[in-house]
Amino acid sequence: MSETSLSALSSESRRFEPPADLAATANVTAEVYERAAVDRLGFWAEQAHRLRWDRPWDEVLDWQPPFAKWFVGGQLNASVNCLDRHVAAGLGDRVAYHWVGEPEGDRRDITYAELLAEVSKAAHALTELGVEAGDRVCIYLPMIPEAAIAMLACARIGAAHSVVFGGFSAQALVDRITDADAKLVITADGGYRRGAPSALKPAVDEAVAQCPSVRNVLVVRRTGQEVTWGERDLWWHDVVDRQPDTHQAQAFDSEQPLFLLYTSGTTGRPKGILHTTGGFLTQVAWTHWAVFDLKPESDVYWCTADVGWVTGHSYAVYGPLANGATSVLYEGTPDAGGKDRWWSIVEEFAVTLLYTAPTAIRTFMKWGDELPNSHDLSSLRVLGSVGEPINPEAWIWYRDVIGGGRCPIVDTWWQTETGAMMISPLPGVTSSKPGSAMGPLPGISVDVVDNDGTSVGELGGGYLTLDEPWPAMLRGIWNDDERFRETYWSKFAGRYFAGDGAKWDDDHVLWLLGRVDDVMNVSGHRISTTEVESALVSHPMVAEAAVVGATDATTGQAIVAFVTVKGSVADDVSAGEAFAKELRDHVAKEIGPIAKPRQILITPELPKTRSGKIMRRLLRDVAEHRELGDVTTLADPTVVNAINAKMGSSSSED
Ligand code: WT7
């Protein structure tokens, strides 16, 4: 929260009103805000009625801070809500997914009836493999239809899935499988990335060797690349294809665990964020319908997030399917088969609603207007952004170049923990300011507070808190209630602290200002500084490591690591560079390529206070080439100069 970012915000005076035609037919109108404010629980109960319940709830909310139960006593099946009820309503022939594989021409349209049949078969297969309600299943797949099918099959039989992003390493898999005590891993031989098959199974092989809880590994054949086969391995097509394609689903309690999703916190160990069924599905379905103004019969929606992240869970799988929407699902990278790949997909399927991340938008800005301009993007009508603050420049570019100046932009703030969107404009109601997420959605209550927990009202900046429970809220950290209380509920008594800074401007609209803790946001993904530091220190030659997030024009933040070594690294530049590369690869092996530092500085010492605390603020200044802050508490002030001198000659990844 630097001074410059605060003053830059105050000068943003541009405002865009909702387009008249969109406002005239919008799913949600202004009165909803008022209604929800007067009767918050009544509002959410009304939204829960959009789902099919096998048993009605007795009570909307049971709130024993910090533990919430929503729609207490109610029973439903998430998979039935996403599939069976649409087929029963005569929508079986509607396309659920236009799936686009990365290789040119690789396409598969899957209707709701087909998806139901596939999920039914997979549900039978899971049961045959001994998976029961309450178990955990780890999913480590590329963006292929089987990813959604596997998730829905777990939900169908009451097992919780734990999807691990395919970019994570074997070690990261071991940690997540072990913490969740998963019985089954679902993976693929590989997936396509940047025009070539990229193996997944070797990481699983390496991981499950250390995971006795895993009984079987179910392997989808996607690329046909060679795999080594172990005793626990089974081909998906051998087990799933021979199952019956109808399945009688059972209803589960509203609070039945639906999934775990691991995310980084301020300490090294990832947290298994627990989400349950009824409240989660209610809020993702409603927000997806309201924030995108979804017209399921005519819209084509595309959420570009991988299912390995919460955005993929809430807005590529559960939200759109609960709403009976038609979605695009794309396997590959934005530049596979040409840097205009996304825009050719938008054109081919006449995508109307697009949901993506600022880091992607900034990348496309860099690639130039000609690429999107060479495609017909006139089908688009609402554009969404998520994952990090979107800078006004990127916002305007998104609106003008991608949206042709017609489409409202919904900048949606939320987190893995919140499960669903919390702060966002509504495209037919709220006027928008470039770079602002505007305000809380109906039924959501936020409060910006100062260090003492005192509300700043609706003017001024501080810490973002949520002061009322919401349906899709996390129900805890898997196996760690203490950490749940400590992490989210202890800084400000009785409130959820999100870890973000925020500011109300003169118009009383909200600006998100990024993380205030030791969590970096790289390309919209949370990575903890501690986690990368632990990975670095686990290298035999590293003595100490300090990691900071430095502002980066494309990825939002980039990882910069300061490292001291045991003994010495040869002083010539090439040896230093080889060593920095070795460390980067080491981090990729420990966590995954997404956590590779952009820059590694080998320094003789780290700047520390007299009590031995590493002075991150100083390192951040060094990493961002800012003028140095106060160094008087530094044990050895010359250290910083030494580091600064190194910065110029450091090895950095392009
Ligand atoms: C953190 C949560 C929500 C799905 C993707 C990320 C940042 C997210 C915004 C936004 C400003 C945002 C916050 C938040 N963030 N969306 N629209 N404006 N910041 O989920 O990995 O759990 O990360 O992402 O810092 O705390 P996540």
Determine the distance separating the centroid of ligand 1 and the alpha carbon of 373, expressed in angstroms: 29
Atom index in ligand 1 nearest the CA of residue 385 equals: 17
Q: Average pLDDT in the 437-449 region?
A: 98
Check whether 7 has a pLDDT greater than 60.
no
Pairs from 40-49 (Cβ < 8 Å, separation ≥ 24):
40/443, 40/445, 40/468, 43/442, 43/443, 44/70, 44/279, 44/282, 44/283, 44/443, 44/470, 44/471, 45/71, 47/282, 47/283, 47/285, 47/286, 47/443, 47/471, 48/74, 48/278, 48/282, 48/471
* CA distance to 440, 472, 485, per residue, from 421 (Å): 9, 9, 22
Neighbouring CB atoms inside 10 A of 492's CB total: 18
Q: Which of 415, 448, 463, 531 to mutate to test the pocket of ligand 1 (most atoms within 8 A of CB)?
A: 415
609-620 pLDDT, tens per residue? 887 788 888 898
Q: How far is CA 18 from CA 263, 290, 300, 324, 528, in A?
A: 35, 14, 20, 25, 38
124-144 residue pLDDT tens? 999 999 999 999 999 999 999
Angular region, 568: left φ>0, alpha ψ -120 to 50, beta rest: beta
CA 406 distance to own-chain centroid: 27
pLDDT higher than 60, residue 167: yes
Q: How many Å apart are CA 283 and CA 44, to the nearest integer?
A: 8
Q: Which of 38-52, 102-116, 437-451, 530-544 has the lowest mean pLDDT?
A: 530-544
Q: Which amino acid is at 5?
A: S
Pocket test for ligand 1, best of 521, 525, 528 (most atoms within 8 A of CB): 521
How many angstroms separate the alpha carbon of residue 500 from the centre of ligand 1?
A: 9
H or E stretch at 2: none
pLDDT in tens, 490-500: 999 999 999 99
What pLDDT is stored for residue 571 in this prediction? 65
Instruction: Give the mean model confidence (pLDDT) for residues 459-467.
Output: 95
* Separation between Cα atoms, residue 213 and residue 556, nearest integer Å: 38
| Ligand 1 neighbours (beta carbon < 6 A) | 263, 310-311, 386-389, 411-416, 437, 498-500, 512, 514-515, 521, 524-526
Work out the average pLDDT over 305-323: 98
Mean pLDDT of 419-431: 98
Q: Are 440 and 416 in contact (CB under 8 A)?
A: no
Chain segment 61-93, per-residue pLDDT in tens:
999 999 999 999 999 999 999 999 999 999 999
Query: What's CA 484's distance to the chain center, in Å?
Result: 19
555-591 exposure pattern, b = at least 16 Cβ within 10 A, e = fewer: bbbbbbbbbebeeeeeeeeeebeebbeebbebbbbbb
DSSP H helical segments within 538-600, as ranges? 573-590
| Range scoring the smallest mean pLDDT among 101-115, 292-306, 558-572 | 558-572
Answering whether pTM is above 0.75, one says yes
Place 599 in a pLDDT band, splitting at 50, 70 and 90. Answer: very high
Give the C-alpha separation, 126 to 600, whole Å. Answer: 45
CATH classification code of 523-649: 3.30.300.30
The lowest-confidence range among 76-85, 257-266, 520-529, 607-616 is 607-616
Domain extents for the chain? 523-649
* pLDDT of 626: 81
Distance between Cα 412 and ligand 1 center (Å)? 8
Q: Which residues of 113-134 are buried (b: 16+ CB within 10 A; e: fewer)?
A: bbbbbbbbbbbbbbbeeebeee
* 506-511-512 Cα angle (round to 5): 155
Q: Give the closest residue to 254 by CA, choosing from 116, 416, 68.
A: 68
Q: Are 423 and 444 spatial neighbours (Cβ–Cβ below 8 Å)?
A: yes
Instruction: Give the C-alpha separation, 475 to 68, whole Å.
Output: 7
Q: Over the chain, what is the mean pLDDT?
A: 94
**How far does residue 414's CA lie from ligand 1's centre (Å)?**
5
Lowest model confidence (mean pLDDT) among 444-458, 465-479, 616-630, 639-653: 639-653
Residue pair 382/430 in contact (Cβ under 8 Å)? The answer is: no
Q: What percentage of the chain reaches a pLDDT higher than 90? A: 84
pLDDT (average), residues 250-273: 93
Our CA angle for 249, 253, 257, nearest 5°, is 90
Hey, which residues does 256 pair with through a beta bridge?
Answer: none
Number of residues that this document lists for the chain:
654
Read off the pLDDT of each residue in 179-195 and give the average, rounded to a whole number: 96
Q: What percent of the chain has pLDDT above 70?
A: 96
Can you list the positions of beta strands (E) in 129-242? Answer: 136-140, 160-163, 184-188, 190-193, 196-199, 216-220, 233-235
CA of 393 to the centre of ligand 1 (A): 19
Q: Whose CA is nearest to atom 11 of ligand 1?
A: 389
In whole angstroms, how large is the CA radius of gyration of the chain?
A: 24
State in Å, rounded, how far the first CA of the chain is from the last one.
Answer: 27
pLDDT of residue 462: 95
Distance between CA 467 and CA 444 in Å, rounded? 9
Atom of ligand 1 nearest to the CA of 424: 17
Atom of ligand 1 nearest to the CA of 499: 26
In ligand 1, the atom with minimum distance to the C-alpha of 411 is: 17
- Kindly state the average pLDDT of the residues 543-570: 90
Tell me the two tokens of residue 229: 């086969």
Query: How close is the Cα of 256 to the center of ligand 1, in Å?
Result: 26
Q: Look at ligand 1, atom 14, and give the residue with the nearest C-alpha.
A: 415
Distance (angstroms) between ligand 1 centre and the Cα of 387 equals: 4
Q: Report the DSSP beta bridge partners of residue 75.
A: 55, 253
Closest C-alpha among 275, 261, 243, 304 to residue 78? 275
- pLDDT for res 8: 46
The full 3-state SS of 42-75, as one line of letters, equals: HHHHHHHCCCCCCECCCEEEEEECCEEEEEECCE
